[in-house]
A and B are shown apart, each in its own frame.
Chain A
């Protein structure tokens, strides 16, 4: 234990010296001396020592261990139940998710397939229509770049006149 005279000789404001602080915390006259020369040191006098909780360390430790064991026991019993519930919840969520996703997929798939079928159904008569329908007859056509070829009829009484018009500027809808 440091002597009071040594403490007073060595004490300086803002000290962190462990031996000086130890003395400060156990000697009221030196605390008074130090606080008058460095008031900031005043509250350092409170600290330092370890404090025993009410009831003593043994009782404190016993309380902690009792709680820990209790929680441990709850943990042993509780987890299977909670795990079982959790697993069931996860499985249910997955099942709902998968069936929902497949439902959406089916609906979308049908939506995609259905227009294709109707197109196919429509396309067939259209093709026929194209083969059967004749374009309107050209009465007159005049262009400086056009090459017009008249195809002679093979049958004598046929009034049909076939004309081939070759022109880059020929309208597409003719």
Chain B
């Protein structure tokens, strides 16, 4: 069998073609990265409509700033940096409004029975995370999502955010601590998991 050459250009080649003026290449790049970008936005922002808007904004910014991309660095690192910047800005502007809503939610959730036998399920964890991660700062949440859900190592996250790896680890440590405290308050049945260790 004759080996066929891959017709798919890599990210750098696509960027080069886009810089030459091809909007088709840009469309190809958007299609390729949409799921990744949207997933990160959704996990950080926690709302599908806002996440969609932010993801679209990221791609528009990408189009406008593509000249600034230095092809000696990984394209995904540069793209993720753009995603995190836009998402963090959005969360910061939204944070004060959310705090008021969350204080009400906390009162409702405290009534959960801690004695119930706990079966950890993915869908439930999704909701738990959406509730308790509101105590995290936008940066802490972004780092936590990138590390725990996008499986990015701390060294890569440091590159994306342009900070030290130790800073990323500190944020991760603090995020875990804050979330455990929140679990204790709002989901004591989950907090028991840590106590039984």
A residues bordering B, Cβ < 8 Å?
Answer: 16, 18, 21, 25, 28, 31-32, 35-36, 39-40, 42-55, 57, 60-61, 63-65, 67-69, 71-72
Q: For A69, give the chain B residue with the smallest CB separation.
A: B23
12 residue pairs of the A-B complex, CB under 8 angstroms, read: A28-B122, A31-B125, A32-B121, A39-B197, A42-B125, A43-B148, A53-B51, A61-B34, A63-B56, A64-B59, A68-B26, A71-B64
State in angstroms the CA–CA spacing of A174 and B144 once bound together.
Answer: 97
Residues of A contacting B145 in the complex (Cβ-Cβ under 8 angstroms): 47
Residues of B contacting A28 in the complex (Cβ-Cβ under 8 angstroms): 119-122
A53-B34, A54-B48, A64-B30 are contacts. A48–B149 as well, Cβ < 8 Å? yes
Q: Given contacts A45-B122, A47-B145, A53-B38, list 8 more A-B pairs with CB under 8 A.
A: A16-B151, A31-B120, A36-B193, A46-B125, A46-B148, A60-B38, A61-B30, A63-B56
Residues of A contacting B194 in the complex (Cβ-Cβ under 8 angstroms): 39
Majority-rule SS of A interface residues: helix
A-B contact count (CB 8 A): 111
A21-B151, A36-B120 are contacts. A45–B125 as well, Cβ < 8 Å? yes
Contact of B39 with A by CB under 8 A = yes
Residues of B138-161 whose CB lies within 8 A of A: 144-145, 148-151, 153
A48-B149, A51-B38 are contacts. A60–B55 as well, Cβ < 8 Å? yes
Residues of A contacting B190 in the complex (Cβ-Cβ under 8 angstroms): 39, 42
A57-B31, A68-B63 are contacts. A47–B150 as well, Cβ < 8 Å? yes
Cβ-defined contact, B122 with A54, below 8 A: no
State in angstroms the CA–CA spacing of A42 and B148 once bound together.
Answer: 9
